[in-house]
Amino acid sequence: MALIDQRHRPFRDLRISVTDRCNFRCAYCMPADVFGEAYRFLPKPQLLTFEEIARLARVFAGLGAQKIRLTGGEPLIRKELETLIAMLGAIPGIDDIALTTNGYFLPQKAQVLREAGLQRVTVSLDSLDGEVFRLLNGDRADVEQVLAGIEAARRVGFAPIKINAVIKRGVNDRSVVGLARFCRDRGYIARFIEYMDVGTRNGWRLDDVVPAREIVETIDAALPLEPVAPNYPGEVATRYRYRDGGGEIGVIASVTQPFCGGCTRLRLSPEGQMFTCLFGTRGVDLRGPLRDGVSDEALAAIARGVWQRRDDRYSEIRTSHTAPRDPKVEMYHIGG
């Protein structure tokens, strides 16, 4: 029997952030002026071990989780992540394991990730322009290094590869057609994401958001598009295909076209906090009970109760907020 929340949304998708650390300093996630050399990330003893993550994933699978996506921070900073992937792949009921990465470490890791059972890869690539790319990632890497990672993933057999691009007005909004063409020519699926107010440290302003409608119109003018039905209920990307049959794109419009009503996701932070919304203000601790030795049944009862009480719909009511809210969890901590 499906686990249902207060808005009749079933639980199906589990996103696991395996680290709060990243080698990039992207302006929309971990701006360099905030996350400098002195910034304190979680110490290793506070992170869930691979065994703890796998145990919780098994509990969540028993509650209806079918898909797992590993995020961060940059998940490939976590050493021997392939070990965790193999452990997750052995859990009954989990039929899809995916990874979102900045791509930097993929030349060294793509083969072992594939062999461990990783099925899908999404790479963040916000611009093909080298200067714009460095501006966006805090001057931490060249675009060629990420392109090498994408090519490594393609070479070992990941397909289709998805490319995520967060679009910010006046920064990389001129990059969308180039990115679309790049992905189309290589068989990748581009995902254009509206700049979101995740957390409280990225200086978000509504004026900086490029609406999905505008993104689609810009691409359509150069590469004609037509809408496509979702792949499955609760898919967050609105899909379009090229009219000449040359592939597809997606747009994720959390700001201008909220999809809270179909959200089936639960998020687990690196230190074992469970969040039911990307824009959540506080999580529910699972690490404490886990390390106190409670049973799987007790952990499942905690998670079941949280989901059944869930009433989140932040994106639907974002613009109606007239008073300051509690600080929201940061994107680097919980994943996108």
Which residue in 91, 69, 90, 97 sits closest to 268, CA to CA?
Answer: 69
Is residue 2 a part of any domain in this protein?
A: no
213-234 pLDDT, tens digit per residue, is: 999 999 999 999 999 999 887 7
Is residue 175 a part of any domain in this protein?
A: yes
Q: Within a 10 A sphere around the Cβ of 247, how many other Cβ atoms?
A: 18
Is residue 3 a part of any domain in this protein?
A: no
Predicted confidence at residue 43, as pLDDT, reads: 95
Instruction: Give residue 250's Cα distance to chain centre.
Output: 14
Q: Which CATH number does the domain housing residue 323 bear? A: 3.20.20.70
Q: How far apart are CA 236 and CA 254, in angstroms?
A: 8
56-108 pLDDT, tens digit per residue, is: 999 999 999 999 999 999 999 999 999 999 999 999 999 999 999 999 999 99
What residues contact 149, with CB distance under 8 A and at least 6 apart?
Answer: 101, 102, 103, 104, 105, 106, 107, 110, 123
Q: How far apart are CA 220 and CA 242, in angstroms?
A: 8
296-325 pLDDT, tens digit per residue, is: 999 999 999 999 999 988 787 775 554 445
15: pLDDT confidence band, cut at 50, 70 and 90? very high
Is residue 132 a part of any domain in this protein?
A: yes
Is residue 111 a part of any domain in this protein?
A: yes
Which residue in 55, 213, 28 sits closest to 126, CA to CA?
Answer: 28
Domain hosting residue 132, numbered range: 13-334
Q: Which of 44-48, 67-71, 175-179, 329-333 has the lowest mean pLDDT?
A: 329-333
* Sign of the torsion angle spanned by Cα atoms 291, 79, 103, 208: positive
Is residue 5 a part of any domain in this protein?
A: no
The number of distinct structural domains making up the chain is 1
Is residue 159 a part of any domain in this protein?
A: yes
What per-residue string of b and e applies to 264-290 under the rule 16 or more CB within 10 Å gives b? bbbbbbbbbbbbbbbbbeebeebbebb
Residue type, 58: R
Is residue 318 a part of any domain in this protein?
A: yes
Residue 76, SS3 per DSSP: helix
Q: Is the pLDDT of residue 329 over 90?
A: no
Predicted confidence at residue 324, as pLDDT, reads: 46
Q: For residue 14, what are its two tokens? A: 């589990």
